[in-house]
Amino acid sequence: MNSPLLPLQSRIVELDQPRPLWRIYAGMLFRRHAPSTDAEHGVIIYRQRDVRARPADVVAYRQLCGECPPGRMPPIYPHVLATPLQLNLLDSDDFPHSLPGLVHLGQSIEWHQPVGVDDSLDIECTMHPAEEHERGALYRLDTDIRRDGELAWRETIAFLKPDPTKRVRPARRGREGDASHFVPLLHMQFPEDAGRRYARVSGDWNPIHLWEFTSKRFGFKRPIAHGMYTLARCLAVLEARGVDLIGKRVDAQFRAPVMLPAFTNFSLSDRHPDEHFALTDSKKGRILLEGRISGIEYDR
């Protein structure tokens, strides 16, 4: 069972204009992150007010990731708006680890209200103290997006900071899940330049997604697809099938990297179709992304 480490003093930061993402990603390539002197931290909160989407950017995003109900922002697009604030927190001296050392394990997203393309949004990111994990330290980053003071969208991302002294390796089936009860519904192809295509519409120019020479600097033989791009494509299929995500929650686990180019299948569970889905490798059949949809629990 995970247990929290002792937290240090909490910190709240208000940002009018976060540093551009290109500066943060350039820093990943050309400099080393200078961590704080303390290995632990308290709750870290970053806030930004009156964040607005640019309609032309939303149109480009829809064209790549899939359509959504008219008048609504695509279900993953609030994450795009929150990414600058999230990365400003993770790349700051308030957080003790470097971005390239973090492993994205999974996340949950809740849709409390429809979000319009023209809405003014307030974003708050909260990084909680580390929890002990069998393979290192587990961090949880919560992002709340409010419209007119009311919660509209919520996300929790789980990051692992691996500890090289902990050599625990879960069984292969445990990491990649059991694909035997998933039925392929349609084929999804992610071309070699999928990372650059998604970067253009999302602003996420993380080097691991771009070219072979940039991904190799971070331990990947080839660029890998953005996890949020693969999830966005899956959710677009579900919405096309009539699934309304308002009042719903998705819990997604990124089981394995989607190495580009990739040939995959969007698959549904034969037990709970439209509630349990996966992105599977077309050749090997292994699960790359697994997601479950449920109702929001409002007692939080």
Alpha-carbon span 179 to 268, nearest angstrom: 10
Q: Do residues 226 and 64 lie in contact, with contact meaning Cβ atoms separated by under 8 Å? A: no
DSSP codes of every residue in 162-221 = E-TT------HHHHH---TTEEEEEEEEE-TTHHHHHHHHH----GGGT-HHHHHTTT-S
Rg (CA), the chain: 19
Q: Do residues 80 and 145 lie in contact, with contact meaning Cβ atoms separated by under 8 Å? A: no
At 240, is the secondary structure helix, strand, or coil?
Answer: helix
pLDDT at position 6: 41
Measured from the Cβ of residue 228, the count of other Cβ atoms closer than 10 Å reads 23
Residue partners of 232: CB distance under 8 A and separation at least 6? 65, 66, 74, 75, 76
Phi-psi region of 279 (alpha: psi -120 to 50; beta: other; left: phi over 0): beta
pLDDT at position 71: 79
Domains 1-169 and 170-300 share a fold: yes
Q: Do residues 266 and 274 lie in contact, with contact meaning Cβ atoms separated by under 8 Å? A: no
pLDDT at position 1: 40
pLDDT at position 5: 43
Query: What is the CATH topology of the domain spanning 1-169?
Result: Thiol Ester Dehydrase; Chain A (3.10.129)
Residue 120: C-alpha distances to residues 56, 81, 107, 123, 157 (Å)? 16, 11, 24, 10, 23
pLDDT means per 10 residues, the chain with 300 residues, are 50 89 79 50 90 94 87 93 94 82 87 95 93 82 97 94 68 58 93 96 91 89 95 94 94 94 95 88 92 83
Buried b (16+ CB within 10 A) or exposed e, 192-212: eebbebbbebbbbbbbbbbbe
Task: Return the domain boundaries, the chain.
Answer: 1-169, 170-300
Could you tell me how many residues make up the chain?
A: 300
pLDDT at position 133: 78
Considering the segment(s) 170-300 as one domain, its CATH architecture is Roll (3.10)
Looking at the DSSP assignment, which residues form a beta bridge with residue 151? 146
Residue whose C-alpha is closest to residue 233's, from 66, 110, 10, 119: 66
- What's the 3-state SS for 116-153? ECCCCEEEEEEECCCEEECCEEEEEEEEEEEECCEEEE
